[in-house]
Structure 1
Amino acid sequence: MTTARSAVVVRGGWDGHVPVPATELFIPFLRGRGFDVTVHEDLDVYADAERMAAADLVVQCWSIGTITDGQAAGLAAAVRAGTGLAGWHGGIVGAFHHGGYQQLTGGVFVHHPAGFVDHELTVLPERADHPVVAGIASVALHTEKYWVLTDPLNDVLATVTFDPEPVGPAGGGSAEGAPWRRPVTLPAVWTRSWGAGRVFVSTVGHKLDDLALPPIRTITERGLLWAARHR
């Protein structure tokens, strides 16, 4: 008899990223793929070494929070031993100002333009056969786009481009315009290996309708499965 894999959903922090409704979008998917899903609305589970060792996947949606050294170390140890970690938007790269945690995820949010903007998520042609993005070339979005600082060890699958912002209030920019003077292309979806574990990050997902877009939902669901420990 096949034993169900275990997924731990950790959600909370700033409510603007709708951690409960957002994670509820994916819990039925995980259960349908044979995961036994438990939900935690605090970070104490990360310090529970036995529980974390048993987890095949951690799905985190926790924004603008504080993680203790012990909690961060427990999460990192589990991933190094093979537990997968996955998340989206501020729930993973806007979560904690903690160096060990940020090294684990491979990126940290630093800026987004005011409000929601039209832009495109572009899959890198050389990664078009990756199982997370296969069959998806680009996705038109109207939402926040994240300027992130990232680790060169990441396997970047898709990007977004920041054009210089216009000058003056009418264009929404500062009196001097954007401090960058040319388009800047930044990672938006990536995977990485950390010890025996896998990490999946998507910067898309500020609001529920972002996550419900069919190609974004597909990328996210595939990312969860990719990150999970393969028994």
Structure 2
Amino acid sequence: MGKRALVFWGGWEGHTPEKSSAVVRAMLEGNGFDVAVRQGTGCLAESDPSGFDLIVPVVTMSSIEKEELGALLAAVRSGVGLAGFHGTMGDSFRNEPEYQFMVGGQWVSHPGNIIDYRVNVTRANDPIMSGIADFDYRSEQYYMHVDPSNEVLATTTFSAEHLDFIEGVTMPVVWKKSYGKGRVFYSSLGHVADEFAVGEMRMIFERGALWAAR
């Protein structure tokens, strides 16, 4: 039996959640997953998410019911993998600190909005980053509050161009961590679905999702 993944989407339309979910679905199906795609968070309470091998939230600036969040947290603690990108996992539920604790970070700003910046690979020997060199990227450069226990795989450094008081700040872009028995992977790249056309961004997320899956 192949692996099973749940992708649920919603929230702010600016992050193209439905289109991004379709990209993720095709990617995972290409890797042999049976993928269920659902709109909204209700699916987390309607059926037991612990039966999946991987969960990918594609939700921004939304809310989640206590029962739904509890089911998601319990599933990951039990060993279900969690993988996501940009605000669709790093800014999903601003009122839920336990969700943010599981993810390992929370978006707080993107100075300058869509800009050109550099992504620096910090763990070139990690299989997720293997063969990927530092690269230029055009998107929102995410400033995040992050868990110091994250295993950081790539970073970016802020200039003074858009905010002088953050000049020289080095910020995690890609990380992995554990939450209970579950593996958690996050990349801040991927503002809209079209960014999956960038080879490095796509490869990093695909490898990270496969790593996270039970």
Q: Aligned equivalents of 2:120 and 2:133: distance in 1?
A: 6
Q: State the partner residue of 1:71.
A: 68
> Tell me, which stretches of 5 or more residues in structure 1 are unaligned?
166-172
> Tell me, which stretches of 5 or more residues in structure 2 are unaligned?
none
Whether contact under 8 Å (2:25, 2:37) holds in the other structure is: no
Report how far residue 103 of structure 1 moved: 0.5
Q: Structure 1: which 4+ aligned runs deviate by more than 3 Å? A: none
Report how far residue 154 of structure 1 moved: 0.7
* Residue 25 of structure 2 is aligned to residue 39 of structure 1: no
Q: Aligned equivalents of 1:160 and 1:209: distance in 2?
A: 21
* Residue 165 of structure 2 is aligned to residue 179 of structure 1: yes
Q: State the partner residue of 1:136.
A: 132
Q: 2:205 aligns with which of 211, 217, 220?
A: 220
**Counterpart residue type for residue 149 of structure 1:** H
Greater Rg by CA: 1
State TM-score, norm by structure 2.
0.95
User: What are the within-5 Å matches in structure 2 for residues 40-59 of structure 1?
Assistant: 40-48=38-46, 51-59=48-56
Q: State the partner residue of 1:147.
A: 143
Q: State the partner residue of 1:205.
A: 190
Deviations 1:124-155 (A, max 9, x none): 0xx21111111112121111110001011211
Q: Aligned equivalents of 1:164 and 1:84: distance in 2?
A: 37
Whether contact under 8 Å (2:81, 2:213) holds in the other structure is: yes
Q: Aligned equivalents of 1:222 and 1:199: distance in 2?
A: 12
Q: Aligned equivalents of 2:92 and 2:175: distance in 1?
A: 17
Q: Aligned equivalents of 1:26 and 1:139: distance in 2?
A: 22
RMSD: 1.3
Q: State the partner residue of 1:162.
A: 158
Whether contact under 8 Å (2:48, 2:71) holds in the other structure is: no
Q: Aligned equivalents of 2:48 and 2:183: distance in 1?
A: 18
Report sequence identity in percent.
40
Whether contact under 8 Å (1:73, 1:100) holds in the other structure is: no
Quick check: 34-43 or 204-213, which moved more? 204-213
Q: State the partner residue of 2:81.
A: 84
Q: Aligned equivalents of 1:38 and 1:228: distance in 2?
A: 15
Q: State the partner residue of 2:109.
A: 111
